[in-house]
Amino acid sequence: MPRRDDISTILVLGSGPIVIGQACEFDYSGTQACRVLREEGYRVVLVNSNPATIMTDPGLAHRTYVEPLVPDVVAAIVERERPDAVLPTMGGQTALNLAVALHSSGVLERFGVELIGASLEAIRTAEDRERFKEAMTEIGLAVPDSGFAHDLDEALAIGEAVGFPAMVRPSFILGGAGTGIARDSAELAELARAGLAASPVSEILVERSIAGWKEYELEVMRDRADNCVVVCSIENFDPMGVHTGDSITVAPAQTLSDVEYQAMRDAALACIRRVGVETGGSNIQFAVDPATGQRLVIEMNPRVSRSSALASKATGFPIAKIAARLAVGYTLDEIANDITKATPASFEPTIDYVVTKVPRWAFEKLPGVADRLGTRMQSVGEVMAIGRTFPESLQKALRGLEQGRLGLNCDPAEARLEACSTEELLERARVATPERPFEVEALLRREVPVERVAEATGIDPWFLDRIEEIVEGRRLLDGLARAGAGALAGVPASTWRRLKRLGFSDAQIAWRLEVEEREVRVARLAAGVAATFKTVDTCGAEFAAETPYYYSTYEEEDEVRPAEKPRVVILGSGPNRIGQGIEFDYCCVHASQALREAGYETVMVNCNPETVSTDYDTSDRLYFEPITEEDVLGVLEAERSAGAGGVVGVIVGLGGQTPLKLAGRLGPGQVLGTSPESIDAAEDRERWAALCARLEIPQPAGGVARSLAEARAVAERIGYPVLVRPSYVLGGRAMEIVYDDQGLEEAMAQLQGKGSLGREGGLSAERPVLVDRFLEDAVEVDVDAVRDSAGEVLIGGVMEHVEEAGVHSGDSACAIPPPTLSAETVAVLEGYTASIAGALEVVGPLNVQYAVKSGQVFVIEANPRASRTVPFVSKATGVPLARVAARLMLGATLAELRAEGMLASAVAPGASAVAPGARSRNVSVKEAVLPFDRFPGVDALLGPEMRSTGEVMGVAPTFGLAFAKSQIAAGNRLPESGLVLFSLADRDKPQGLLAARSFAELGFSIAATEGTAEYLEDNGVAVATRVAKIGEGGAARGLPDAVELIAGDGVRLVVNTPRGRGSRADGAYIRRAASANRVPILTTVAAARAAAAGIADWARLGLSVTSLQEHQELLVGPEGAPPARARTGEEAPKR
Amino acid sequence: MRARHPEALVVLADGTTFRGEAFGALASGEATVATGELVFNTAMSGYQEIVTDPSYAGQVIAFTYPHIGNYGVSPADEESGRPYCRGIVVRDLASRPSSWRAEGDLESFLEAHGLGGVCGVDTRRLTRHVREVGAMPCALGTAPEGELLLAAKAEPGTEGVDLVGEVTTAAPYEVPGGPLRVVAYDFGVKATMLRSLSSFATVEVVPATTPADEVLASRPDGVLLSNGPGDPAALSHLVATVRELLGEVPVFGICLGHQLVAAALGASTYKLHFGHHGANHPVRRLSTGTVEVTSQNHGYAVDPGSLERAPEAVEVTHVNLNDGVVEGIECRGLRAFAVQYHPEAGPGPHDARYLFGRFRDLMERSETAGRRP
């Protein structure tokens, strides 16, 4: 069946900011969908609030709305664009929920919009637990039985019905309190009693427990002719009980016999047919009892998902791309397999390797959260590795995580397990944590039998047996280590091959043999054992593959094909983590696009399956490899032998800290753009201070400390408060503002051995701590710029932060153009940036952070690499900064790019892309999205340690409106009226007064804690409700306390500033109450003032939506020409 | 530490050599050698069914999926009483199976039947080589390379060889089941195929050499022509039998049975470059246009051009979407239909199981219509 001609405009819904559970896999799928639909000649309208995505590049859709993903905003877009159809299956749960909301509000019907990809009926059947259960029962598939109980009798009756063991989960309980597993009715009675008491609504869910069962997922596709294929099977290493997003998962399924697998396949096809997903992909989760093989359906997602991104990368079968084609009417057999070109997509990929995904968590950034894994997803990113066997892929994945591990133990970090007794280790391994795989290896190394480890962990013995093979490899290494010095030279090729086939990294081997990694590499290569690269081809080599998508392993044949052009290797950013996420992937993808256009072959190296960069058609060649010295050198060697112009160099400056760390290890002359020498000059505290002094750019007073005594000495010299931060970290890791000696002591302890940074390498002579005077009440400013090899500097954007200095720039909202900075200040900022770029001889991107206090500009730090804000700046200004930077790194000059049209002539030499206010009729605001709703135990306050997972952008004619939009997009909808609760630290009261006054003028009632209330009333702001702080005996005086007031549903917004000393503990209660009751909370006065401005403008101007294309049209230069439009190489709409 | 296997080689008749380690029976002797035609199978599960599929008689099976033996072996997964293949080549052999169904491990199972294989092999390199040069005789074992090469060159392969005699049942036997009566010619029949039939028919399994008139005399409702090993061109005696059956009774041919039906109708067969051996082949059912994901195992195929020249009207009903190979034919006039792939699966997807229903319908319709004279 050919494409549908009865629709012409399609609205694609994105997934919004990166949050836990919904990450850049939806940028990958949405980007593919937009591309495909455009290729098919449809007019594509996209809405997504996340500016860091590739999908929101203005060239990918005809109309791109970077607007909040909420029903009224999307309805306004529908009204404006009049799409014929909405595709809701590419944007995760957010998009599905939006689709349902648009239906319920009648918008779809009113504007005659059809849902494609999944019908409303299908969405509802899959999403509603009861309906799903009914549907599955109807087709003879079993689901775990469960029921809600409101009293003991009801609980016991459900318990009898569902069978034991039964899981009890109280409703509306944060942090899993009161959850447990009952083995019989007596235990159930006990748990139910406690659970009912714990639940605020006296409700518990009693469910048949399947914890410990094996967990599987199948990725299924269906077309409108009812052709169905299973793209990939996935087996979880961790048994049921750990969220699949937090599980180590392996493709294909390893321990199912064909009889069981085919029965599961039959069930999956029956499920997708019954749920009624007519066109597209779904993933279906199963639990299997390891003792009997009994199989239950757990859930079904009628859309592309994190697993389908993984399955696409794991097999080479592009699920989202094909799902988009199916949604517009094609059938699977009409679509060619991209990889073989010769065969159709209506087949089931077969793979001849093993894929392992390992999640990455951020517990170190969330003090107070136990690193215990459960049914709620907590990971922020993931790494995928491909190896010919499970041991190889597991060890590759673990070293790709970049958490200081070189593989599955056999590294310095294993020492902390060595101290545990075997019994202790076994007890620990009973609980799923990020450490469990390492504990398992240690147990097996201590010769604890596989059976016992399996019993303790629920991990299938097959996986454990494979880990035991790694243990045997380790013993081989131990033997070599005993042989002492010189052992390396005598290691036979067969031993090398065995170790490398088990996935041991050179670094692990070097650690065990107490030699340098480089020596291992030399000895190994001398023995003739080098990495070979194999192709991911969907078909187990049955057909020739057209797509150069490779992974390394240790085999007899290398498949890297000869190249045709000189190549540029781009190192990606590895797994997403807080501080380094999709923004860097965006930069790498842009570099690849720009350099392909410029006539190079691009070679991408990355290991993050969620990303666009690891899409096999983003670059000319893709190596799915960990970003480590060994793996990158392997790729470089392979590419050097591929001929035709060789490797021009490696780009390390666009993927964040990950590739930057390798800059010095790639060999002389390999790094393109800014030299490793300059990178070091910016990072090295003393050299940097000297450089600033030479340039006469003021820095806050500060110093370097390698011990507490040195830190104290610095603090004494410069005075408190001070900002303490380790060097060579990203995302403000372990950064803290301290106000006194005690605080300094605590902060330094955190950085040493036992502290949270200890496991990441800790404090050392090579990694000193920077201690700087903290500038209170300063405005923080980020400047992104690029410089070419001829010395010309282009200022990409000057971003003024909403939150004052001290809140990590990644967690702070910021605006372009800067709303409060004077033109003189902006000129100073631009001038400093240009001088720094020159002094560091930057070739490519540069980000400089400044603090502006009382009109004086201080430089905080400079990073000669792409920053987190590059995508935002590019979207706000229309200047494709990452593309420009990549070209400059390859030697192009800004003048040349201007001549090419990549930068419009309006951007004069030395000028900024957007001068403050002058050329833009819109203000763009970026807001951070924080993960606090996932971690109820964590205090929701902002500080110098970055904790946001993603960002959104609001574009509007005024700062207030853009800020309000950014808040809505971040899930923090500002109220239009009602009660605002203020609780301010003393130092915030003068500024807080201004905010409170604005709210009062807007008609809000003010509530305030006692001290704040007094201050406000003394200054003429009426306080309607006074509340007591916790523990101050307010009740005795007849005052409600803040928590009661918030819980009582009266408060619409909370402004609580915790900075400084004293108010911390009290504020935490208020903030937690606000989170629990879903009341928006602002923790800085600056944000409160911005919110007041936003609410005022919202009331005055109302909601309006504008596309990025229109916004960038407005960026009119002095001569009337649009400056620096992104050149996308894509033509205007066909229809 | 688990036992290490002795070093071994896989040597192809063209001299290409692959390093590995011997296991099973090949690990037990001084200088072991096994020979056969080397084919690769791309299914990711179902190794036991594949190993015990009599159609692999005369062949050495290389598995493209690297981990083989993961879930052990179970009597329920045997497609015949013993493995008929000559050996297997794998990247990684599981030393410890894990499954509630497992009653043993693959290596011991093979060894018990005097079979073995080579593991640790770069099976992807091997597959790419076979893809280029075609299915080819090979030798594997711990013997010296020269000896293995000689053995590989001496190995006749499957072309022109009658392998059915090796695998067919010596005496007829009955598989009890449904009310219809089917005679199944055992050219190497798979257990799953008989199980599929038994849901609606009682099956009399007969040796390949059973004369047609003997079968017709028993007045069955239908005849199944089973799968089997090797080159159909070497089986002219069976073609003659099939020719006698066609038109007399509803006939369902599978795999080799399909080739024999085509040959009996006057069509010819040819050897595929490296065959179809896997569980993911897309086949279009021409009557509906829909696609079935199928289980396949054949090294020979029916020449579509020769079908057009057949005297009876033969319709091509199924086509392989990867390479256009004829996957199914029907001759309505003679109440016969056949498919090249394996609707019974075992291993593989169940998408084509409806064909057994079609066979039942055909037999039931014939019953009501009364048998032809």
Q: Tell me the percentage of chain A whose pLDDT exceeds 70.
A: 92
Name the pLDDT band for B254 (thresholds 50, 70, 90): very high
Q: Of A355, A283, A284, A266, nearest to A320 (Cα)?
A: A283
Q: Of B197, B190, B175, B269, nearest to B226 (Cα)?
A: B190
Domain boundary among B154, B188, B215: B154
Peptide bond into B347 cis (omega under 30): yes
Fold match, A565-672 / A975-1101: yes
DSSP of B338-362:
EESSBTT-SSS--TTTHHHHHHHHH
- Dihedral of CA atoms A581, A585, A590, A595 in degrees, nearest 10, equals 140
Please check whether residue B71 touches A, CB under 8 A.
yes
- Cα(A662)–Cα(A402) distance, integer angstroms: 12
Residues of chain A with C-beta less than 8 angstroms from the C-beta of B124: 352, 388, 534, 540-541, 555, 557
- Which tens digits make up the pLDDT trace of B5-16? 899 999 999 999
**Do the domain assignments include residue B98?**
yes
Q: Which strands sit side by side in the sheet containing A814-816, from one edge to the other?
A: A856-863, A844-853, A779-787, A793-804, A814-816, A923-929, A950-956
What is residue B26's predicted lDDT score, i.e. its pLDDT? 96
State how far residue A1069 is from chain B, nearest Cα, in angstroms. Answer: 50
Q: Tell me the percentage of chain A whose pLDDT exceeds 90.
A: 68
Same domain, B12 and B53: yes
Domain boundary among B97, B123, B154: B154
Asked if CATH classification 3.40.50.720 holds for the domain at A975-1101, the reply, yes or no, is no
Name the pLDDT band for A917 (thresholds 50, 70, 90): very low
For residue B232, pLDDT over 50 is answered with yes
Note the residue count of chain A: 1135
Name the pLDDT band for A1049 (thresholds 50, 70, 90): confident
Please check whether residue B281 touches A, CB under 8 A.
yes
Residues of B belonging to the active site: 255, 342, 344
The overall average pLDDT reported for chain A is 89
Taking only residues 105 to 124 of chain B, the set having a beta carbon closer than 8 angstroms to any beta carbon of chain A reads 122-124
Name the pLDDT band for A71 (thresholds 50, 70, 90): very high
CB contact under 8 A, A462 and B97: yes
Same domain, B125 and B207: no
CB contact under 8 A, B96 and A465: yes
Same domain, B47 and B193: no
Decide if A326 contacts A223 (C-beta within 8 A).
yes
Identify the residue whose tokens are 């215990």.
A372
State how far residue A555 is from chain B, nearest Cα, in angstroms. Answer: 6
State how far residue B57 is from chain A, nearest Cα, in angstroms. Answer: 21
Instruction: Using a cut of 0.80, tell me whether the model's pTM lies above it.
Output: yes
CB contact under 8 A, B127 and A291: no
Q: What is the rounded average pLDDT of the residues B88-96?
A: 95
- Which tens digits make up the pLDDT trace of B120-138? 999 999 999 999 999 999 9
**Helix ranges (DSSP H) in chain B:** 47-51, 106-112, 123-133, 145-154, 164-167, 191-198, 212-217, 236-245, 256-264, 304-308, 354-369
**Tokens standing for A316?**
């080479």
What is residue A756's predicted lDDT score, i.e. its pLDDT? 45
- Which tens digits make up the pLDDT trace of A251-301? 999 999 999 999 999 999 999 999 999 899 999 999 999 999 999 999 999
CB contact under 8 A, B100 and A292: yes
What is residue A176's predicted lDDT score, i.e. its pLDDT? 55
- Which tens digits make up the pLDDT trace of A533-582? 999 999 999 999 989 999 999 999 999 999 999 999 999 999 999 989 99
Same domain, B129 and B175: no
Domain A9-127 class, CATH top level: alpha beta
Same domain, B145 and B32: yes
Please check whether residue B21 touches A, CB under 8 A.
no
Same domain, B175 and B317: yes
- Which tens digits make up the pLDDT trace of A1010-1020? 889 999 999 99
CA A935 to chain centre: 16
Please check whether residue B132 touches A, CB under 8 A.
no
- Cα(A158)–Cα(A710) distance, integer angstroms: 64
Taking only residues 298 to 357 of chain B, the set having a beta carbon closer than 8 angstroms to any beta carbon of chain A reads 321-322, 345-350
**Tokens standing for A1102?**
């109302």
- Which tens digits make up the pLDDT trace of A300-315? 999 999 999 999 999 9
Residues of chain A with C-beta less than 8 angstroms from the C-beta of B280: 347-350, 539
Same domain, B200 and B346: yes
Q: Which of A260, A291, A541 sits opposite B127 (nearest CB)?
A: A541
**Do the domain assignments include residue B282?**
yes
Domain boundary among B131, B154, B177: B154
Question: In Å, how far are A240, A311, A316, B168 from A249, measured between CA atoms?
Answer: 12, 11, 17, 44
CB contact under 8 A, B64 and A258: no
**CATH superfamily, with its number, for domain A701-774:** ATP-grasp fold, A domain (3.30.1490.20)
Q: Of A855, A360, A435, A431, nearest to A609 (Cα)?
A: A360
What is residue A167's predicted lDDT score, i.e. its pLDDT? 86
> So where are chain A's domains?
9-127, 146-208, 407-530, 565-672, 701-774, 975-1101
Same domain, B14 and B143: yes
What is residue A904's predicted lDDT score, i.e. its pLDDT? 63
Q: Which of A259, A346, A389 sits opposite B282 (nearest CB)?
A: A346
**Do the domain assignments include residue B180?**
yes
Same domain, B271 and B356: yes
Domain count, chain B: 2
Residues of chain A with C-beta less than 8 angstroms from the C-beta of B327: none
Name the pLDDT band for A758 (thresholds 50, 70, 90): very low
Q: Which of B76, B99, B291 sits opposite A255 (nearest CB)?
A: B99
Based on its alpha-carbon atoms, the radius of gyration of chain B, rounded to whole angstroms, reads 20
What is residue A1065's predicted lDDT score, i.e. its pLDDT? 52
CB contact under 8 A, B322 and A541: no
Taking only residues 156 to 195 of chain B, the set having a beta carbon closer than 8 angstroms to any beta carbon of chain A reads none
- Which tens digits make up the pLDDT trace of A696-706? 999 999 888 88
Helix (H, G, I), strand (E, B) or coil at A256: coil
Please check whether residue B285 touches A, CB under 8 A.
no
Please check whether residue B6 touches A, CB under 8 A.
no
- Which tens digits make up the pLDDT trace of A441-452? 999 999 999 999
Domain A565-672 class, CATH top level: alpha beta
**Do the domain assignments include residue B159?**
no
Same domain, B223 and B252: yes
CB contact under 8 A, A252 and B64: no
Name the pLDDT band for A753 (thresholds 50, 70, 90): low
**Do the domain assignments include residue B217?**
yes
Nearby residues of A1002 by Cβ (< 8 Å), 6 or more positions away:
A977, A1092, A1095, A1096, A1099
CB contact under 8 A, B350 and A265: yes
Q: Which of A254, A349, A556 sits opposite B67 (nearest CB)?
A: A254
What is residue B368's predicted lDDT score, i.e. its pLDDT? 66
State the amino acid at position A669 in one-letter form: G
DSSP strands (E only) in A677-820:
702-705, 722-726, 736-738, 769-773, 779-787, 793-804, 814-816
Q: Which of B77, B94, B124 sits opposite A257 (nearest CB)?
A: B77
Domain A146-208 class, CATH top level: alpha beta
Q: Which of B18, B42, B345 sits opposite A262 (nearest CB)?
A: B345
CB contact under 8 A, A257 and B46: yes
- Chain B residue with the nearest C-alpha to that of A462: B98
What is residue A85's predicted lDDT score, i.e. its pLDDT? 98
Q: Of A518, A626, A505, A647, nearest to A572 (Cα)?
A: A626
For residue A1122, pLDDT over 50 is answered with no
- Cα(A702)–Cα(A887) distance, integer angstroms: 36
Please check whether residue B199 touches A, CB under 8 A.
no
Name the pLDDT band for A1036 (thresholds 50, 70, 90): low
Nearby residues of B237 by Cβ (< 8 Å), 6 or more positions away:
B209
Nearby residues of B249 by Cβ (< 8 Å), 6 or more positions away:
B215, B216, B220, B221, B222, B223, B335, B366, B371
For residue A1121, pLDDT over 60 is answered with no
- Chain A residue with the nearest C-alpha to that of B347: A258
Residues of chain A with C-beta less than 8 angstroms from the C-beta of B76: 259
For residue A49, pLDDT over 60 is answered with yes
The overall average pLDDT reported for chain B is 95
- Cα(A153)–Cα(A192) distance, integer angstroms: 10
Same domain, B134 and B221: no
Residues of chain A with C-beta less than 8 angstroms from the C-beta of B128: 541, 557, 559
Residues of chain B with C-beta less than 8 angstroms from the C-beta of A497: none
- Cα(A88)–Cα(A14) distance, integer angstroms: 8
**Do the domain assignments include residue B302?**
yes
Architecture of domain A407-530: Orthogonal Bundle (1.10)
What is residue A1030's predicted lDDT score, i.e. its pLDDT? 66
What is residue A914's predicted lDDT score, i.e. its pLDDT? 46
Q: Domain residues for B131? A: 7-154
Decide if A206 contacts A186 (C-beta within 8 A).
no
CATH label of the domain that carries residue B21: 3.50.30.20
**Do the domain assignments include residue B206?**
yes
Same domain, B84 and B186: no
Interface ipTM: 0.97
For residue B327, pLDDT over 80 is answered with yes
State how far residue A135 is from chain B, nearest Cα, in angstroms. Answer: 22
Residues of chain A with C-beta less than 8 angstroms from the C-beta of B97: 462
What is residue A1128's predicted lDDT score, i.e. its pLDDT? 34
